[in-house]
Amino acid sequence: MLEDFSFPKILPIGAVLFDFLFLLVAIPIEAYVLHWWLKFDKKTSIFYAIAINVFSSVIGWIIFFIIEPLLPVQVRSELINYVFFNNFKSSRIYTYVVLAAFLIFFATFLMKFLLLKLFLISLDEIGKKVEEPAEISPRNRWRRVSIAKLHNTSLITTTLIANSLSYTAITLILLIRGNR
């Protein structure tokens, strides 16, 4: 697979700039949601929003460049036509675009949730001292498990809301771009 890899002869600067614009739109929205729902301070919210968006964007581009050569020629042609000329040749492709948009949304949501969880665990564990486990009563153990489940649900909800709001803003930008 890697022996067939080659760098593109034409770099789609417009797509790269729009991805940068999407990051500039998504990061403040998601930082605000993290600040509001998870009660992080503003600096921490911005840090986590930058981290999850940049990492998910890089992972998304890597996945795109792995999948793109496997696409049928007609779909690749439509994709190239959209990236460079902002339109599709075939009207049949819109069904696939809607399906791909849903898949990308949920894949990004899952990726951002896992990245946020990973960052919270890894950055929280660095500052803690290793303590000897004391004997925990069943009531306290149940309380800790309940709090952990509630925190996990809160992370899922917060990530879903943040991702939904940022995707809504990005969709509006794409609609404005398409109507020019």
Q: Output the CA angle 140-141-142, nearest 5 degrees.
A: 90
178: number of Cβ within 10 Å? 9
Residue 2 lies in a domain: no
Angle between helical axes of 42-67 and 93-126 (0-180°, round to 10)? 130
Range of the domain at 66: 8-128+137-178
d(CA 73, CA 145): 51
How many domains are there within the chain? Answer: 1
The confidence score (pLDDT) of residue 78 equals: 87
Low-confidence ranges of the chain (pLDDT < 70): 1-11, 125-137, 139-153, 180
Residue 173 lies in a domain: yes
The confidence score (pLDDT) of residue 24 equals: 96
Residue 33 lies in a domain: yes
The confidence score (pLDDT) of residue 127 equals: 46
Residue 1 lies in a domain: no
Beta-carbon contacts of 42 under 8 Å, excluding residues fewer than 6 positions away, are 31, 35
Residue 29 lies in a domain: yes
The confidence score (pLDDT) of residue 3 equals: 67
Residue 84 lies in a domain: yes
How far lies 148's CA from each of 20, 153, 160, in Å? 35, 9, 18
Residue 122 lies in a domain: yes
The confidence score (pLDDT) of residue 42 equals: 94
